[in-house]
Copies of this chain bind each other. A is one copy, B any other.
Amino acid sequence: MATIQDVAKLAGLSRTTVSRVINDHPYVAEEKKQLVTKAMKELNYVPNSSAQRLRKQATETIAVYVPRITNPFFSQLVESMENAAAQKGYQLILCQTRYKKKQELFYLELLRTKQVDGLVLTSIENNWSEIKPYLACGPIVLCNEYSDEAEVPVIHLDQIQGGYIGTKHLIEQGYTKIGYCSGNHKSSRVAADRRIGYLKAMEEAGLTVQPEWYYDSAYSVEDGKRIFSIIQNQKNRPDAVFTGSDEVAAGIAKAAKQAGWSIPEDLAIIGFDNQPLAELMDLTTIEQPIDMIGRLAMEKMIEEIQSKGMQKRKRTELPLKLVQRSST
């Protein structure tokens, strides 16, 4: 591989001048510029990016943390982030935390070792106090999941509203015994907010919340099936359930149909995300503008990197929308 030195020699100029041409600096004569360009082409030269990174102290690479890329919500988020990053000339390193604290901390080292210029977190496993020290090494932006203590830019959705409009819709449809499935609302702010919205809608309607209609650890299709079998065995059953994801809703719907139940007559179900799955399974759901938050988060990230300014907590909150189908 040719180096800048080889180009300089072939062009009969110094490394400095070649570097100037590469970086489009002023004060280089048109004639020499031609010489350099010609030499670069002739040698098939491209600058070595490790050297550039070392010297420029920037990598033009951003790490994105997701629990698992196979979760459609996160893959869509990553898709939009990659698009936004590529547009601005940044690379994306994919980090799957696998819902593990340790894995998340392990990847944080990328920032310390200067392998990336910044971090976008879409989920948070550790306490913010564990993550905070890494802010000294580069900017962090939160997208989707967030934490109140974190003094960094946050792009997220109005999950309280999400929980509220979903539950309210069920109430308006005439359901009164409304169950609730969610992930862990103690560690996840997203889950906690939705729960607040749910409780608010229930309270407004004067409905009571039955503890036995609260189903937790709900993430996957399998969890949905498991939850259905719990419902099936309950004496006092809900007539509708609010779920935290289309997968969970789909799992419940599938198991219910297999058991001979009619949806929504025997059980109304509402999903979350409006994934392609929701349309196929005819699920009422809450649509989140995923592409939008992904793009906004990435743009914010790049802005942070380029401004090198101090990070302020700056919250951007986007609204959600109900999509009605035949499951409610």
Measured CB to CB, the residues of A under 8 A from B are 1, 46-51, 53-54, 57, 59, 61, 68-70, 72, 75-76, 78-79, 82-83, 86, 91-96, 109-110, 112-115, 137, 221, 247, 250-251, 254, 276-277, 279-281
Report chain B residues within 8 Å CB of A109.
46
Q: Is the interface of A mostly helix, strand, loop or mixed?
A: helix
Docked-complex contact A96 and B75, CB < 8 angstroms: no
Among B50, B94, B112, point to the contact of A94 (Cβ < 8 A). Answer: B94
A174 CB → nearest B CB, Å: 26
A-B pairs, 10 with minimum CB distance: A50-B53, A50-B54, A49-B113, A75-B75, A49-B115, A94-B94, A46-B112, A46-B113, A70-B79, A69-B79
A59 CB → nearest B CB, Å: 7
Docked-complex contact A94 and B114, CB < 8 angstroms: no
Report chain B residues within 8 Å CB of A59.
50
User: Can you offer 23 A-B residue contacts whose CB atoms are under 8 A?
Assistant: A1-B114, A47-B113, A48-B114, A49-B113, A49-B114, A53-B53, A69-B75, A69-B82, A70-B72, A70-B75, A70-B76, A70-B79, A75-B75, A82-B96, A83-B96, A86-B96, A91-B93, A91-B110, A221-B276, A221-B280, A250-B280, A254-B280, A277-B277
Among B48, B83, B93, B95, point to the contact of A113 (Cβ < 8 A). Answer: B48
Docked-complex contact B72 and A68, CB < 8 angstroms: no
Given contacts A75-B69, A280-B221, contact A115 B137 (CB under 8 A): no
Report chain B residues within 8 Å CB of A78.
69, 94
Among B79, B110, B279, B281, point to the contact of A96 (Cβ < 8 A). Answer: B79
